[in-house]
Amino acid sequence: MGRELYERYPVYTSAIDRADKHLLSLGATFSLLKELQKDETSTKINNAHLSQPSCTAVQLALVDLLRTWGITAKAVAGHSSGEIGAAYAAGIIDFEDAMTVVYHRGRLIPILKEKFPTLDGSMMAVGAGQADIAPLLERILRCVGEARIACINSPSSVTVSGDTDAILELQQLIEEAHPGTFARKLQVDTAYHSHHIRTSFPTGMR
């Protein structure tokens, strides 16, 4: 993940090293640099406490690299943890603040799972619009579980989040109603932007 950039561009290298050092100063029990250098057979990058800081660090490093090429954003947008990278690109928060926010954001997910061990959540990317998916969500029985649209990415793309059984049921409904439509379950073990987060964390932690 970003290994070629790390080896080739000193500015990018410096940013990743800076992020790694700051995470360790916050109490991280992992090395960001070591995790980013692992291959797909050995990495644990899909774990939230690793994936969120890793993605943000790469985003910040890319922003720094692009700036050295004279490329700056006229406007930025971000969803979920991507909002942190967007805020950095916009100059709203500095590098260390961005990494601090994402470190604690990722750190809270294992706490959620420990506190609510029966939660079984998933997410799915769907190549269809809200108008097509919303009626299918209403067809999912409560006994199966609950799922909802977590993000409208574009008029023809949404991300759905919720109980794993409900996500799998929705996947079947999509295939029946819209054969051939892209519907891929994401490699995450937490139903971000769903009722799992709303009901599990106190108001101030959401």
Give this prediction's pTM. Answer: 0.84
Q: Are residues 95 and 7 in the same domain?
A: yes
How many other CB atoms are there within 10 angstroms of residue 44's CB atom?
Answer: 11
Residue located via tokens 């690793």: 50
Q: Are residues 94 and 190 in the same domain?
A: no
Q: Are residues 101 and 171 in the same domain?
A: no
Residue 34 has pLDDT above 60, yes or no: yes
Q: What is the pLDDT of residue 201?
A: 60
Q: Are residues 25 and 79 in the same domain?
A: yes
Per the structure, how many domains does the chain have? 2
The whole domain housing 68 covers 3-115
- Which tokens is 6 given? 């790390």
Q: What is the pLDDT of residue 1?
A: 61
Residue located via tokens 């000193």: 10
Q: Are residues 74 and 138 in the same domain?
A: no
Question: Can you tell me the mean pLDDT for 57-64?
Answer: 97
Q: Are residues 90 and 142 in the same domain?
A: no
Phi and psi at 159, nearest 5°, equal: -115, 135
CA 85 to centroid of chain Cα atoms: 12
Using DSSP, state whether 28 is helix, strand or coil.
coil
Which of 115, 136, 166 is the last residue before a domain boundary? 115
Residue 206 has pLDDT above 90, yes or no: no
Residue 200 has pLDDT above 70, yes or no: no
Q: What is the pLDDT of residue 37?
A: 86
Question: Can you tell me the mean pLDDT for 116-135?
Answer: 95
Q: Which residues contact 146 (CB under 8 A, 6 or more apart)?
A: 140, 162, 163, 166, 194, 195
CATH code for position 21: 3.40.366.10
Which of 93, 115, 137 is the last residue before a domain boundary? 115
Question: Can you tell me the mean pLDDT for 91-112?
Answer: 93
Which of 59, 84, 115 is the last residue before a domain boundary? 115
Q: What is the pLDDT of residue 204?
A: 43
